[in-house]
Amino acid sequence: MQDTIVREITVKAAKERVYKAITDPEQIIAWFPDAIEGTLEAGQRPIFTFTKENHKTQIYVEAANPFEYFAYRWVPGGTGIIGDVLTVPNTLVEFHIEELGEETKITLKESGFSSLPSEVAEKSFNQNSGGWGYMMGRLEKALNQA
């Protein structure tokens, strides 16, 4: 069982703009969840709504270090959970932001799949592996357009 998904993109945007696209509720809905209830600040527990999949999922914001790093925990795989995500097996989603001259590299890493129950671990990994490719493509397009 693979434990980690890594996706990387490079965009023509400053790291400040990239960080805002990932952490500003008004901007993140342009490429990731369809809606968000709450704020994306360290220690907060906002709820992501995915309309097409018809579910909501609560996350726990693990870290929010402006312009460099953002991380949260959630229960992957489209199951959706409302409640304390820290009390159940979960994965850690991390965004590493690195400025490279006039471009910025964004590395997404989701880890912890091997800690999930065996009946959902592989399905969650496969679903999110493809899902992150799609979502990072949307983020890249959003950042390169503006």
Q: Which of 61, 22, 58 is nearest to 41 (CA)?
A: 61
pLDDT at 110 over 70: yes
**Band of residue 19 on the pLDDT scale cut at 50, 70, 90:** very high
Please report the pLDDT score of residue 78 as a whole number: 66
Which H or E run contains 57? strand 55-58
Phi, psi dihedrals of residue 64, rounded to the nearest 5° = -145, 90
Which residue, among 38, 36, 27, 118, has the nearest Cα to 77 in the 3D structure?
A: 118
Q: What is the mean pLDDT of residues 119-132?
A: 91
Helix (H, G, I), strand (E, B) or coil at 37: strand
Please name every residue paired with 11 in a beta bridge, in sequence order, or none if there are none: 104
- Reported as a pLDDT band with limits 50, 70 and 90, residue 26 is very high
Domains of the chain: 4-145 (3.30.530.20)
pLDDT at 118: 87
Where are the alpha helices (H) located in 1-146, listed in sequence order? 15-23, 25-28, 118-145
Helix/strand/coil for 115: helix
Q: Tell me what pLDDT residue 133 has.
A: 93
Amino acid identity of 130? Answer: G
Three-state DSSP at 146 gives coil
Inter-residue contact 2 to 125 (CB < 8 Å): yes
Q: What is the pLDDT of the chain when averaged over all its residues?
A: 93
Q: What is the mean pLDDT of residues 108-116?
A: 96
CB 81 within 8 A of CB 88: yes
* 41-88 tens-digit pLDDT: 999 999 999 887 778 999 999 999 999 999 999 998 766 789 899 999
Cβ neighbourhood burial of 28 (10 Å; 0-12, 13-18, 19+): buried
Task: Give the percent of the chain with pLDDT over 70.
Answer: 97
